Amino acid sequence: MAMTSAAADQGFYDALLEDDPESLYEQAPCGYLSTDPNGGIVKVNKTFATLSGYPAAELIGRRFADLLSAGGRIYHETHYAPMLRMQGTVREMAFEIVRPDGSRLPVLVNAALQRGSSGEPRVVHIAIFDATERREYERELVRSLRRAERSEAQAKALARTLQQTLIPPTPPHIPGLDVSAAYRPAGSGEEVGGDFYDIFQIGTDDWVITLGDVCGKGVDAAVITALVRHTLRALTVQVDAPDEVLHALNDVLVAHGTDRFCTVLLLRLRHDGDSWAVTSSAGGHPLPLRVVEGGAITTVGETGSLVGVLARPVFHPETFRLTPGEALVLYTDGVTEGRSGQDFYGEHRLLDSIVAHIGPHTQWPANEMMEHVVAFQHGMPRDDIAIVTIRVPGEGRPTT
């Protein structure tokens, strides 16, 4: 006849009451060990004897550490014993117990040091949990962690390689012009940024400088950045006028179907006597800053449309001469929008930096200007930064 539920409950409670301390200890669902403060075993329960494979009587008098693997013994001496003395408890330490037949039992160990009335260490109570399956799971986790670490290292290496394709491989050099360039991706520099610049020759005394910013970051943005940079190279060979090049680039991006757009500065420079004839056009980009004779700083041209958004964008051509002593600074918005707390780096700091760094006295002003922006952001710029400066050597005509 089946018991009623109430009767079954009653039977359960009776059994609980009958559980004598002796069998609670001996049959506990974990191994129990008691040792003296130096680790000598004074008492073990049946569960531990069964788990470890040692008869209880053989364990008494041995040191707990002697049951461990050699590696575990070192860990016991260097971590377990010091912590137990200083903290009084040890939690979830992983060890392997070596059974009499040489097989290993992975265990997790909790221990508590009991002190006498005057604070002297008296006995250590140790609970031992069989962790065979957990340890296998942990090993799998460690393997996964190592794999993840390797993948991360690979991804970083790839990002660095990709990043290097977005700027010229060697520092740019144009005969008859002092050129400097600096580039730095946002943050700690591990993600590929969207800024780029390029400086290349297309004829005798005929050079092109491009600088721009593809919206977004990461590999997807880098793909478009590479497309933009190479399209500009191809177009400038065939088309003279910078504004027409930007129109063609706009068509390429719109036709590509990407939802990424970019801002671009395009300059064409022709060496002419001791000065340079410049034509430029801007596509939605902060305008180049021109440092004219006497030190005044002005913008060049008009901003124009973003590139890759509109079917009918507007780009304005601008033509001017850069004479000895004059300079141009091209930069991305990572400079002016650099932030320190609520404070933006802003145009005023950029202008100050230009005054401080551009001139016959500085070898590589772009680097020094960039370091100024990075330092303002405590070493962690929130956006990519690209800066290109050019300066026509010489002091210029004396002002009268």
Partner 1 sequence: MNASERHNVTVTGRPDGQAMIFAHGFGCDQNMWRFVAPAFEDDFRVVVFDYAGAGDADPTAYDAERHGSLDGYAADVVEISRELGVKAGVFVGHSVSSMIGVLADRADPELFEKLVLVSPSPRYIDDEGYVGGFTESDIRELLDSLDSNYLGWSSVMAPVIMGNPDRPELGAELTASFCRTDPAVARRFAEVTFLSDNRADLATVQTPSLVLQCSDDAIAPVSVGEYVAHTMPNGSLVMLDATGHCPNLSAPEATVDAIAAFVRR
* Binding residues for partner 1 (CB under 8 A): 37-39, 63, 65-66, 69-79, 81-83, 85-87, 92-96, 135, 138-139, 141-142, 145
Phi, psi of 66 (to 5 degrees): -70, -20
Q: For residues 101 and 120, which CB has a smaller minimum distance to partner 1 in the complex?
A: 120
Smallest distance, Å, CB 264 to partner 1?
39
91 token code pair: 């939690």
**Quick one: CA dihedral 358, 360, 366, 369, positive or negative?**
negative
Smallest distance, Å, CB 106 to partner 1?
8
- For the chain, helix (H) and strand (E) counts, in that order, are 12, 17
Return d(Cα 387, Cα 6) in angstroms, integer. 83
273 token code pair: 């006597």
Residue pair 357/297 in contact by the 8 Å Cβ criterion: no
Smallest distance, Å, CB 374 to partner 1?
19
Smallest distance, Å, CB 86 to partner 1?
5
CA atoms within 13 A on the CB side of 226: 11
Which conformational region is residue 266 in: left (phi greater than 0), alpha (psi within -120 to 50 degrees), or beta?
beta
Between CA 156 and CA 164, with CA 158 as vertex, the angle to 5 degrees is: 105
**Quick one: CA dihedral 339, 340, 342, 347, positive or negative?**
negative
Smallest distance, Å, CB 38 to partner 1?
4
Which strands sit side by side in the sheet containing 195-203, from one edge to the other? Answer: 195-203, 206-214, 262-272, 275-283, 318-322
Q: For residues 76 and 290, which CB has a smaller minimum distance to partner 1 in the complex?
A: 76
Q: For residues 113 and 177, which CB has a smaller minimum distance to partner 1 in the complex?
A: 113
Phi, psi of 162 (to 5 degrees): -60, -45
Q: For residues 44 and 124, which CB has a smaller minimum distance to partner 1 in the complex?
A: 124
104: which residues sit within 8 A by CB, 6+ positions away? Answer: 69, 96, 97, 98
**Terminal CA-CA length for the chain:** 122
Residue pair 193/258 in contact by the 8 Å Cβ criterion: no
Residue pair 53/106 in contact by the 8 Å Cβ criterion: no
Smallest distance, Å, CB 94 to partner 1?
4
Between CA 248 and CA 258, with CA 252 as vertex, the angle to 5 degrees is: 145
Smallest distance, Å, CB 39 to partner 1?
7
Q: For residues 102 and 398, which CB has a smaller minimum distance to partner 1 in the complex?
A: 102
Return d(Cα 49, Cα 39) in angstroms, integer. 17
Q: For residues 109 and 373, which CB has a smaller minimum distance to partner 1 in the complex?
A: 109
Question: What is the 8-class DSSP label of residue 128?
Answer: E
Return d(Cα 384, Cα 191) in angstroms, integer. 10
Smallest distance, Å, CB 164 to partner 1?
25
Q: For residues 83 and 374, which CB has a smaller minimum distance to partner 1 in the complex?
A: 83
Q: For residues 77 and 395, which CB has a smaller minimum distance to partner 1 in the complex?
A: 77
340 token code pair: 């320190």
Smallest distance, Å, CB 267 to partner 1?
43
Q: For residues 75 and 200, which CB has a smaller minimum distance to partner 1 in the complex?
A: 75
Smallest distance, Å, CB 104 to partner 1?
10
Q: For residues 132 and 298, which CB has a smaller minimum distance to partner 1 in the complex?
A: 132
